[in-house]
Amino acid sequence: MAFPLGTRTVHKVGIIGSGQIGPDIALHMTKAMQPAGVPVVVVDVSEKALAAGKSKLEKKIDKGVETQAFKPEFGAAMKANTTFTSDYGQLKGADLVIEAASEDLPIKRKIFQQLEASLAPDAILASNSSHMEPELIFGECARKGRTAVIHYFFPAERNPLVEIVPGRETDPALAGWLMGFYEEIGKIPIRVGSRYGYAMDPIFEGVFHAACRIVEEGLGTVKQVDEIVRRALRQGVGPFTAMNLTGGNPLTHVGLQHYKDKLYGWYAPTKLMESQIESGKPWDGVQRGEKVEVPAEAEGRIKDRILGAYFGIVGEILDSGISNVADLELGVQTGLVMAPPFGLMNEVGVAHALDLVKRYAKDHKGFPVPKCIERQAAAGKPFEVPVVIREDREGIAVLTIRRPAVLNALNREVYEQLDRHVQAIEKDPAVKGAVITGYGRKAFVSGADVAMLASVKTPADGEATSRHSHAVLNRIEKSGKPFVCAYNGMAFGGGNELALACHARIAAKGLKVLAGQPEPNLGIIPGAGGTQRLPRVIPFAKAWEMLRTGKTISSAEAKQLGLISEEVDADRLVARAVELAAKANFKPIDRGPLALPPEPPHVELGHLSKAVDKVMQKAILEGLRMGLDKGLEFESKCFGEVCGLEDMKIGMENFIKNGPRAKAQFVHK
């Protein structure tokens, strides 16, 4: 069996090291690889470590079965798929080997020397180092082009983030393949330039270091600072508690010493840190459920201190050029689970953020004031955090909606960035067409962001929200350049309406759930063109049922109905969409009035709101008789009307409190 992806095929995966993180990497890998029949082999020289690692992996699988995260048969299959051994010979035939043994350079180099001698010349050699530069780790390797750092985050089987860090001699094609591979197997990879600590650890360890300094300066106790930093950065736990959980004191101490030498002097370890390591005791962090009292004045000083440090640390990383605003924002939010830094700076005001950094730098020798924050404050504008990423391929602009934490849901920022990209594409003579897709493999776009929908309070708000989305999607549909939708996963609500505005659509093969208009479950109707475009793209009877019931269709059904023209292997999806956009041979949507059956098919509503359905039927039937442009205007009015119903409030409250699967108790008014 094998796992083919692009130019490479994975037949076996190796993990070197059965210590703290190796078994967790193995668990993630076997979860992803077992369905393809690709074995995972964990190698360690210590039989004790192997036994402990195997026990750790199996306990986590058993817990997953107990919580119904895994079916029992899949849990058993994952265990059987993973081998723990001291025999390096069992790595024969591995196409990807990840070293997770030790942050010890001689040991790493010895491991890779042994792997180079025993593996195929094109096998990928990777290190899960958390700090060391790839040029240092792989300095003695004969084939540096096949090497890279792949930095997992705690806990490796659940934390979605990985940093892909190529060295100067890493083959660019390999770095690109690794990005695609990790996205394919459910991680969120960000590409980072080579520098000690990469992008994320200087933030995690820097926030901890700043917290230590705050305690040393007498602004609060360890427990108080732990709690205030947690609140200020909106974390689940504070920095001292996080250090206890990760067992990172010794490694962080070494990291801080190297940051001091390789980045800037502020990182020099504190005496508090050194004394804690000497004691061997955990930090006195905040316990679960514990309430910590902090005087308001002290809380304000601690908050200002930590924000000044946080913004300065992140800004310096951006200034260094090893990462960008979009990746730093995404990485911090998903991997470190902190308030996204640039969004937080925008929230407090960039000028105020700069003032906090300057005040912090004044009191702390060796701390930088980032140029990027100075420039943004001088411009008098907030940071733009890209959530729609453009990459041009052979004259075709590929737009990827990247909000994985909310399955790429549409909010006003997504719409505005889409609109700016579409306008730029129309004006760019080098671009012949465009592809719109989503990030990851789960969702193209899961729908409208709940926060955006929850902000709709009145019929006027509803109509305005609908009109705003129409303006963007109409620009796509009326563009003189072809737009192809590449459904990489499910598309619900506004996501499917975005797809319908494109000139052609294709989907990843074998999706059991591809598209749906679930608005009736929320007590609303489609407001981004669904009532008017869906019946013009697929047969009326099926569109009528989908719109009124919220029922979904698979990719196979979508092809039968004409919603998509092709099902494509997932790893070829965007490439095929690029090919289609270059051909630009698409039948335009029928913009005139639609001939309707004299008696629309009967539909069973079940628990759904009859009041909402009445507006839905009106929007569909009357709108379709008007022609597309006027029908869309009518849909906006109907969307506003439904936002005044009691059932809309019931549906939204139920969705927010109980999730999408819980049925709302509609009152039909």
What's the pLDDT tens digit per position in 372-424? 999 999 999 999 999 999 999 999 999 999 999 999 999 999 999 999 999 99
Query: What pLDDT, in 10s, does the model give residues 520-570?
Result: 999 999 999 999 999 999 999 999 999 999 999 999 999 999 999 999 999
Q: Is residue 165 part of a domain?
A: yes
How is residue 299 written in tokens?
A: 């809380």
**Same domain assignment for residues 544 and 420:** yes
Cβ partners under 8 Å of residue 298, min gap 6: 219, 220, 224
Sheet containing strand 566-568, edge to edge, reads: 388-393, 396-401, 433-438, 483-487, 504-508, 566-568
* pLDDT value at residue 238: 95
**Where residue 309 sits, what CATH number does that domain have?**
1.10.1040.50
CATH code where residue 394 lies: 3.90.226.10
pTM of the model: 0.92
Give me the pLDDT at residue 450, please.
79
Q: In this structure, what CATH number is given to the domain that contains residue 38? A: 3.40.50.720
Query: Domain end: 191, 217, 240, which one?
Result: 191
Residues 509 and 561 in one domain: yes
Answer with the one of 165, 191, 217 that is the final residue of a domain.
191
Q: Examine residue 457 and state whether it is found in any structural domain, yes or no.
A: yes
Integer angstrom CA distances of residue 418 from 76, 188, 437, 471: 45, 22, 12, 11
Q: Is residue 667 part of a domain?
A: no
State whether 441 and 543 are in the same domain. yes
If asked whether residues 346 and 426 sit together in one domain, one would say no
**Of all residues in the chain, what percent carry a pLDDT higher than 70?**
100
> Among candidates 608, 618, 510, 614, which has minimal Cα distance to 550?
608
Instruction: Count structural domains, the chain.
Output: 3
The string of DSSP letters for 308-360 reads HHHHHHHHHHHHHTSS-HHHHHHHIIIII-S--HHHHHHHH-HHHHHHHHHHH
| Lowest-confidence pick of 129-138, 291-300, 350-359, 416-425 | 291-300
Residue 343 and residue 418 in one domain: no
Q: Looking at residue 584, what is its pLDDT?
A: 82
Q: What share of the chain has pLDDT > 90, as a percent?
A: 91
In tens, the pLDDT along 626-655 reads 999 999 999 999 999 999 999 999 998 998
Contacts of 579 (CB under 8 A, 6+ apart): none
Same domain, 237 and 352: yes
Residue 224 has pLDDT above 80, yes or no: yes
Judged by DSSP in three states, 7 sits in: coil
- The answer as to whether 666 is a domain residue is no
Shared domain check, 164 and 278: no
Residue 449 has pLDDT above 80, yes or no: yes
Final residue of a structural domain among 379, 402, 422: 379
The residue assigned the tokens 């309070």 is: 457
Distance CA 52, CA 423 (A): 57
Answer yes or no: is pLDDT of 247 > 90: no
Q: For 483-515, how does the pLDDT look when each residue is reduced to its tens digit (9 = 90+)?
A: 999 999 999 999 999 999 999 999 999 999 999
Mark whether 166 and 221 lie in a shared domain. no
Q: Is residue 664 included in any domain, yes or no?
A: no
**Active-site residues: which are they?**
497, 519
Same domain, 539 and 593: yes
Question: 660 falls in which pLDDT band (50, 70, 90)?
Answer: confident
Sign of CA dihedral 530, 535, 538, 542: positive
CA distance 197 to 257: 11
Same domain, 564 and 619: yes
Range of the domain at 154: 3-191
Whether 585 shows a pLDDT value over 90: the answer reads no
Q: What is the mean pLDDT of residues 129-144?
A: 97
239 and 259 share one domain: yes
- Judge whether residue 456 has pLDDT over 90: no
- Are residues 459 and 562 located together in one domain of the fold? yes
Question: Would you say residue 109 lies in a domain?
Answer: yes
Residue 669 lies in a domain: no
pLDDT by residue (tens digit) across 138-188? 999 999 999 999 999 999 999 999 999 999 999 999 999 999 999 999 999
